[in-house]
């Protein structure tokens, strides 16, 4: 199956690349172009990315793009509640692969906060993210269960995080399938992105996307909340 075989909603566009390297390069070019346009139009740009292993090549490619990185604010769609020097930290991943060379001049707003509990950390992050400008570019991933950011099916705070009128910017989340406690941006903040992008790789993720495109509850596959215009999907086998 190829992504061209899927019936996408009106206004949603998809791109297929032959290799993971081409996929990362194409995504980096698209993101860099959008950030440049934002800087030209508004004097600054805000980029929100997802963590995990999949975006490493994209981060490496984006770090090489010629940009006025001093005018870019980088942040995360979600984070594990672990110290920034932990191997599972999304912030550590971004600092290691994206915020290097010229890109090290970008500003960074992280989600992790030192606190006595996950809820307290989420409250501190929520207050900090009041300073986040409107998101110019959002790069999401997707899990095999249809989660995106840390919006996991069956997570206790999922219903609140998916509400269009949710007043919180950051909520604590627990992934039922994974032990790590997490922090996630909520749907209203993520859905406000000027350019949302979904980056996925492999046949398994394509099958998950096909399932998510079928009618069903958003809470059972939270990626469904984003499968509408405007959205650009980048996929490679």
Q: What is the pLDDT of residue 106?
A: 98
Determine contact, residues 44/75, Cβ cutoff 8 Å.
Answer: no
Q: Which residues pair with 75 in a beta bridge?
A: 48, 109
Tens digits of residue pLDDT in 97-121: 999 999 999 999 999 999 999 999 9
pTM score, two decimals?
0.97
Integer angstrom CA distances of residue 13 from 21, 140, 198, 210: 20, 15, 10, 14
Alpha-carbon span 65 to 210, nearest angstrom = 32
Q: Please give the residue that has the higher pLDDT: either 156 or 61.
A: 61
Give all strands (DSSP E) within the chain, no chain letters: 12-16, 45-49, 72-76, 78-80, 107-109, 137-140, 170-174, 181-185, 195-201, 231-236
Over 80: is that where the pLDDT of 231 sits? yes
Q: What is the pLDDT of residue 187?
A: 98
Determine contact, residues 222/186, Cβ cutoff 8 Å.
Answer: no
Over 80: is that where the pLDDT of 17 sits? yes
Q: What is the pLDDT of residue 175?
A: 81
Which residues are CB-neighbours of 105 under 8 A, at least 6 positions away?
Answer: 69, 70
- The whole-number average pLDDT for the span 146-174 is 96
Q: Burial level of 19, CB count in 10 A (0-12/13-18/19+)? A: exposed
Over 90: is that where the pLDDT of 152 sits? yes
Q: What is the pLDDT of residue 75?
A: 98
Give the least confident one: 11-25, 130-144, 175-189: 175-189
Q: What is the pLDDT of residue 54?
A: 87
Give the least confident one: 152-156, 213-217, 218-222: 152-156
Tens digits of residue pLDDT in 164-177: 999 999 999 988 77
Enter the tokens of residue 53. 């292993």
Backbone angles phi, psi at 235, to 5 degrees: -140, 145
Q: What is the pLDDT of residue 172?
A: 97
- The whole-number average pLDDT for the span 57-61 is 98
What is the second-level CATH architecture of the domain 13-236?
A: 3-Layer(aba) Sandwich (3.40)
Over 90: is that where the pLDDT of 144 sits? yes
Q: Is the dihedral of CA 30, 188, 177, 51 positive or negative?
A: positive
Which band of pLDDT confidence, cut at 50, 70 and 90, is reported for residue 207? very high
| Mean of the per-residue pLDDT values of the chain | 96
Over 80: is that where the pLDDT of 76 sits? yes
- For residue 180, how far is the Cα from the chain centroid? 18
Alpha-carbon span 164 to 118, nearest angstrom = 23
Which band of pLDDT confidence, cut at 50, 70 and 90, is reported for residue 78? very high
Q: What is the pLDDT of residue 180?
A: 77
């Amino acid at each position: 199956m190829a992504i061209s075989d899927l019936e996408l909603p009106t206004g949603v566009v998809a791109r297929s690349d032959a290799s993971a390297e081409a996929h990362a390069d194409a995504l980096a070019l698209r993101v860099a172009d959008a950030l440049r346009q934002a800087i030209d139009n508004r004097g600054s740009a805000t980029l929100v990315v997802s963590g995990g292993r999949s975006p490493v090549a994209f981060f490496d490619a984006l770090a090489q793009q010629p940009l006025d990185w001093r005018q870019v604010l980088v942040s995360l769609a979600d984070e594990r509640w672990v110290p920034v020097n932990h191997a599972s930290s999304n912030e550590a991943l971004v600092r290691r692969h994206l915020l290097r060379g010229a890109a090290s001049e970008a500003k960074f707003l992280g989600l992790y906060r030192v606190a006595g509990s996950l809820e307290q950390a989420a409250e501190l992050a929520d207050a900090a993210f009041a300073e986040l400008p409107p998101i110019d570019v959002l790069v999401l991933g997707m899990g095999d269960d249809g989660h995106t950011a840390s919006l996991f099916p069956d997570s206790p705070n999922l219903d609140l995080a998916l509400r269009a009128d949710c007043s919180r910017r950051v909520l604590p989340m627990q992934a039922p399938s994974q032990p790590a406690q997490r922090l996630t941006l909520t749907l209203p903040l993520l859905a406000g992105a000027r350019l949302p992008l979904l980056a996925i790789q492999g046949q398994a993720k394509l099958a998950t996307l096909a399932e998510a495109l079928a009618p069903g509850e958003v809470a059972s596959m939270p990626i469904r909340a984003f499968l509408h215009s405007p959205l650009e999907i980048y996929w490679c086998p």
